[in-house]
Amino acid sequence: MSVIVLFSGSFCHGDEVGRVLSEKTGYELLDDQTLIRDTARRFNIDEGKVAKALMGKASIFNKFTHEKERCLAGLKVVLGDALQKDNLLFYGYSGLMVGGDIPHVLRVCLIADLKYRAALGAKEESVLEKEAVRRLHKEDENRVLWVEYLFNCRDPWSPDLYDMVIPMDKIPVDGAVELVLFNLAKDVLKVTPASKQAVEDFRLAAQVDLKLAQAGHNVSVSAREGRVTLAINKQVLMLSSLEEELRRLVQPIPGVQGVETKVGPGYYQTDIYRRFDFDVPLPSKVLLVDDEREFAQTLSERLQMREMGSAVVYGGEEALSVLEEEEPEVMVLDLKMPGVDGLEVLRRVKKEHPNVEVIILTGHGSDEVQKECMEMGACAYLEKPVNIDKLTQSMQDAYRKIKERKAGQDKD
């Protein structure tokens, strides 16, 4: 039988429609929480990381770590394996990963106008409508980011993405359910040999995607009857070598009948292709905090040349804001900055994010300040101008502390 993909805006009765549809059809309901849990367990990934990859914005370190792509590759494999069964209802973000080229999948979107959603949200959450609107805008932003990531589209409610878009401010829950059931019965949604092959193509592409992500690569993958196409969407210095490595990794995967590589539509953008190397004994999430913009950018580029993924912020307040969403492994911190200075940042980091190792790098230091920084928990104190090898060694020492701490926690 057919498969339903149900995507909904907040406060559009999505939970209720999904539950009633599951009851009336007998379909197994697979929501985001279930699929996240299965992915985390199967691939030994933290559930929070999978959830963030699915429903949050990408980390500022993601272009170095490819963490989002690795989490989503595992999730896609879980989706592909689930599609081997019939009678499924995917509810939430995850279902939108199911290929639109699988003919027996019915893609449904539930949405309503903002006024209706705000009134319902205020009632259900016991807040003022103004607060409900604020929350809706934030949640809708996550949905925008998701469909932009998947489809390069900024409208999560676009009719082009779905077979049905149901206005829940105009149709009651039972009416929405009946509409879905009516369309579900159409012959075009029946399972056929061709639609089963489309599922196998989806599964194979998912397995290839996971294999490449686990090897540190990030390319677009598609499959058709066993033939896999890999699209490289960022410039690379030695394209032929990358293509050869990709084919070497993909060809042994069961079910692969052939591998084609090509340059994708994003190849000629300015960004450079980076493979993430899991074996390099250096941090991949380095946050540089310095109000000297030219110095910080130059240092970041030099660190990236040494296989260290580094992002840059230009003040203490901005650094603390980043830490609310994503913890770096190592922070390289200037002391003298306008607004929130380095000492206050160090104090708050070690109090609120004790696992972050902080290296002080300053041009305005003294023995007294050095002693204060080390007592507050900094792992190293360096002065500008810094020798890049000395800074790299300090980062290696910091990363070693992180690995030893993590190993100790795993034993416990």
Find the distance separating the first CA and the last CA of the chain, reported in whole Å: 47
| 179 burial level (CB within 10 Å; 0-12, 13-18, 19+) | middle
Mean pLDDT score of the chain = 91
Please tell me what DSSP assigns to residue 390.
H
Predicted confidence at residue 64, as pLDDT, reads 79
Lowest mean pLDDT among 52-66, 173-187, 318-332: 52-66
Higher pLDDT, 236 or 327: 327
| Architecture of the domain whose range is 286-399 | 3-Layer(aba) Sandwich (3.40)
- Window from 38-52, 94-108, 263-277, 338-352 with minimum mean pLDDT: 263-277
Single out the residue of 366, 317, 325, 322 nearest to residue 342, CA to CA. Answer: 317
d(CA 360, CA 352): 18
For the stretch 335-394, pLDDT in tens is 999 999 999 999 999 999 999 999 999 987 789 999 999 999 999 999 988 888 899 889
Question: 0.85 cut: is pTM over it?
Answer: no
For residue 274, pLDDT beyond 70: no
Report the SS3 class of residue 253.
coil
Class in CATH terms, 3-189: alpha beta
As a dihedral over the C-alpha atoms of residue 18, residue 206, residue 307, residue 319, rounded to 10 degrees, the angle is -10
Whether pLDDT at 412 is above 70: no
Say if residue 275's pLDDT is above 70: no
Nearest CA-CA partner of 20 in 91, 122, 72, 99: 91
Mean pLDDT score, 181-198: 93
**Rounded Cα distance, 152 and 119, in Å:** 31
Q: Scanning the structure block, which residue is given the tokens 């998701």?
A: 146
Show the 3-state SS of 186-219: CHHHCCCHHHHHHHHHHHHHHHHHHHHHHCCCCC
281-324 pLDDT, tens per residue?
678 889 999 999 999 988 888 887 777 778 999 999 999 999 98
Residue where the block lists tokens 């498969």:
3
The whole-number pLDDT of residue 348 equals: 95
For the stretch 22-61, pLDDT in tens is 999 999 999 999 999 999 999 999 999 999 999 988 888 8
Pairing verdict, β 227-232 and 220-224: antiparallel
Q: How far apart are CA 156 and CA 372, in angstroms?
A: 50
pLDDT of residue 227: 97
Q: What is the pLDDT of residue 276?
A: 56
The sheet with strand 227-232 has its strands ordered as: 220-224, 227-232, 258-263
- Rounded distance, CA 167 to CA 152, Å? 23
Band of the pLDDT at 198, cuts 50, 70, 90? very high
CA 334 from chain center: how many Å?
30
